[in-house]
Chain A
Amino acid sequence: MITKFKDKVAETLETPLMSEGITSLQVNLGYSCNMACKHCHVGAGPGRSEEMNKDTIDIVLDSVRKYDIRTLDITGGAPELNPHFIYLVKEAKKTGCHIIARSNLTIFFEKGFERIPEFYQENNIEITASLPYYLDSGVDRVRGAGTFHRSIEALKLLNSLGYGNGSGGRRLNLVYNPSGIFLAPAQDCLEEEYRRELTSRYGIVFSRLFVFSNMPVGRFRTHLEKTGALERYLKTLEDSFNPSTLDGLMCRHLVSVGWDGALYDCDFNQALDLHIEAPYPSHIRDFDRELLGRREIRLGDHCYGCTAGQGST
């Protein structure tokens, strides 16, 4: 048995975990994806039909304008698959907010999406892309055959457009996550290794590497349950609890908008359908930056995933 995360936080902070104000809005455009990765916490894939409609996107845009949101973080599934993706980016851009797109990279090679890299470049979109390792072994096993090779080609293409080389401010971040039931390494050490290996092997450059642990949510949780490893993994996460990560937790600085407009503390709570509860707004149509910026965060034992080691945020 592990200590409830809520109790661990109370013991550490002596208060509940509270938002510290909203600097960023994370918008999930739906669960449709051209891939079906084994670790995906929202269980995205080609068979998923949930997607944010244009009415909801317009309400998101209204909130961005009304509350002068400075960062819009767009995710999915593959967010590019949403038919209103281009519209959202163009309209949000007019407000002057900074836009981050979480891309799986392989979408660039799907029919009808070949222009996406140039679209990102033209609109100066920051790209945060999955690349779970700098060698092909492991990546294709977790993300599907041919993924690693296509990802490398996509990164070369983005580099040729000025991404990741420090010029023009076009930021290209990569995301590592473990390809199995073990914790993530230290971010700084692995970033150095990614930089060295990707440059020497493929001539690829990038801005930052983010190292995330696998959350015991979605497909990864199913795998843990199937293999009888759930309890041990949760215990490992608890044993690696690092109190210094609590200050920077993403849930304290953003609100996550689900494809149907429901509001969550983060994308993981969204995957578990743990929406923000009364007295705080629970839908984007009722968005209130000030009120949501002093809400109590809804916690679960999966939250240990964000506080293990150096943290995942």
Chain B
Amino acid sequence: MAVEVGRLLSVPDTVGTARWFGRLRFPILRTRVTGFALVVALLLLWECSARLGWMVSQNWPPFSLVLTATWRGLWSGELAAPLAASMARMVSGYLIGSSCGIVLGLLLGTVRVLDRFVTPLIEALRPLPLPALVPPLILFLGLDDALKIFVVAFAVVFPVVVSTVGGVRDIDEVLIGTARTFGASRARTLLRVVLPAAMPSICAGLRISLSLALVTTVVAEMIAGSSGIGYTILQAQYGLRPEEMYAAVLCIAVVGYLLNMGFVLLERRILRWHQRADADV
């Protein structure tokens, strides 16, 4: 990637936009150092705005207080325990939702009859916001983990279905036709040809759903129950402890970042493997 961008930028271009980026004379520009510097700069701005009274509010603590609250919370367990509880719910919901999503997406993308029958139902369910569905959900699922995990899976399933169907539909028909001509069974074609070819798109959906799963877990925990980071956020807000609220938000942000980074690494491997599998066929 770096080489590719390098080539693009080093080519003399008539408009001269490439020059803005320093023509790679500074290799540091190609690392995330600049990105983290931006984040730090914004956090400093936050600190100053609270310390110097640019923003006066009970709900706007300096970032340094948020950091100390985070540190305290993680060691005392007041933040670590809810975080662990949330992660457990999130992972269960994500795994259930994404596997259902991929299977459903592959089916809808390949079996046209099913697509006609089921897709309208999905499209009708998709825009329904969680808070609107709370009463019937409580009726069927109660207030505990079942409710929260279901809600997470529900949120995860749609982007995965959409991107899987999108990926399947973009596959070259010739590819599938060839596989069928060579006598590959329908199931085999699905697994060995369709799935690998749709993988980049599926991965995009999985990646979007990952942070969506985290978001939804937190929101679901705000409905009811006394555990999880969502409950911590609300309690801190209503207990007038804004630094603890932002500490919880900070934890979510960092966990989300790490999850995403982990996913990108995993994705690279999966895609490489699938490309190889693709070449084999």
- Binding partners A and B: no
Q: Which residues of A contact B (CB under 8 A)?
A: none
